[in-house]
Structure 1
């Protein structure tokens, strides 16, 4: 048995699964890290994660030797999910709805996690994983765009590279207004979607009202105070 609670087999040189309590600690750390990095971004430390998980920082380091390894594991499934959703959208029969549904998913994913947005935009951690995800997503998203354009439902000057930038932009809007209206990004997604059509007879109903002048002032004041601007 190793000092960190891993039971090793005697003659085969392999390792049995983590002891039950060690695995519980690992899952507790991942859940805590998801909350900390989602709300505070990648500037949060392993000490912050340990406090949130209610374990000693040494326990965190035994499971994850550094922050990069924790971040990479934490967001690996989310990145894979973005690729999978893009592939599922490509199989949808309606080219327009396929593109719109993926745009909404990508925007909601970025809006819900500061850490994931930082990871995908800057690749400070998990560079190989992020680069792989981008390489996997690029051809699928390109096909979504081209299929909608070939069907005549998407303006011809729209590019596949516009998709992630729209998602990042809406994520930033969600962060900016999180103190007063975290769902306001849906309003701007609807405005953007209306602008993607080559032509239209009317405009879509906006799902979220505009911020009031008072809410705008609250957002401006709270945005410079990270502890209050995110909830």
Structure 2
């Protein structure tokens, strides 16, 4: 018996793939905006499909998270590899910090999944594990050439990234780029030696902006 699909089957498969892509796009938007506490029902509404369609594709939310964030976390791995390719260790270190904070700030779901093992399954966990030795090498290179403080540990780096990224998320409705002001302050503090301070290109929040941020911040 032939197992070839009939012509009538093919539109169904195309429809199913279109629905899958709509689900993934909707989930990506919602996770970036609101984080990983978004429900599959909310994803279905944003995607414009029935709840049953989402659950058939992704019976549990962790499967959807794995499908979405494996590539996103792999992007962080690529950033670390780019940093190691820089001839100057300090430039590589600051490049990694800036680009990683940029991604964490733009995608709340990514920030949560990078800094927590609560969400996701094996695919995400496997990619997350690839980041650790790369970050250690970035750190050791910058310490070996004397540009980075010798007392900084590898576990400090994700915490500092989280801290800077959190500033951007905190002020996202008022001044989402304010994290770019925070990062040079942090990097100056990580220098083993420096003359002067790095100019801050991004302005501080005004008192009015700060108060507005406090009113609408999504913690």
Q: Which runs of 5+ in 1 are unaligned?
A: 1-8
Q: Does 1:205 align with 2:199?
A: yes
Work out the CA distance in 2 between the residues paired with 1:169 and 1:219: 17
1:29, 1:60 within 8 Å by CA — same for their partners in 2? yes
Offset at residue 28 of structure 1 (A): 1.0
Query: Residue 59 of structure 1 is aligned with which of 5, 28, 53?
Result: 53
Taking the aligned partners of 1:72 and 1:114, their CA distance within structure 2 comes to 15
Q: Summarize deviations over 1:151-181 as a string: whole Å, max 9, x none.
A: 1111111122111111111121111111210
2:159 paired residue number: 165
Of the three residues 160, 184, 198, the one matched with 2:178 is 184
- Residue 59 of structure 1 and its aligned partner are, at CA, apart by 1.4
State the shift of 1:49 in Å.
0.6
1:50 matches 2:44: yes
CA distance in 1, matches of 2:124, 2:183: 24
| Contact 1:107–1:166 (Cα < 8 Å) also in 2 | no
Cα offset, 1:123, TM superposition: 2.2
- Deviation by residue 1:76-100 (Cα, 9 ceiling, x = unmatched): 1011111122122112211111111
Residue 127 of structure 1: CA displacement?
Answer: 4.2
**Which residue of 1 is the match for residue 3 of structure 2?**
10
What SS does the corresponding residue of 2:63 show, helix, strand or coil?
Answer: helix
What is the rounded CA distance, in whole Å, between the counterparts of 1:97 and 1:192 in structure 2? 15
- On the 8 A contact 1:120/1:130 being kept in 2, the answer is no
Q: How far does residue 128 in structure 1 lie from its aligned partner after superposition?
A: 3.1
Q: Secondary structure at the match of 2:176?
A: coil
Could you say which structure has the higher helix fraction?
2
Counterpart position of 2:141: 147
TM-score (ref. length: structure 2): 0.90
Large movers: runs of 4+ above 2 Å = 120-124, 127-135
Gaps of 5+ in 2: 5-9
Of 104, 107, 113 in structure 1, the residue corresponding to residue 98 of structure 2 is 104
**Residues in 2 aligned to 1:196 and 1:190: alpha-carbon distance in whole angstroms:** 10
Distance in 2 between residues matched to 1:166 and 1:215, nearest whole Å? 24
Q: TM-score, normalised by structure 1?
A: 0.86
Provide the rounded CA distance (Å) in 1 between the counterparts of 2:18 and 2:129. 34
Q: Deviations over 1:24-60 (max 9, x none)?
A: 1111111110001110111111111111111111111
Aligned residues: 213
- Which region of structure 1 is more displaced relative to structure 2, 27-36 or 167-176? 167-176
Cα RMSD (Å): 2.0
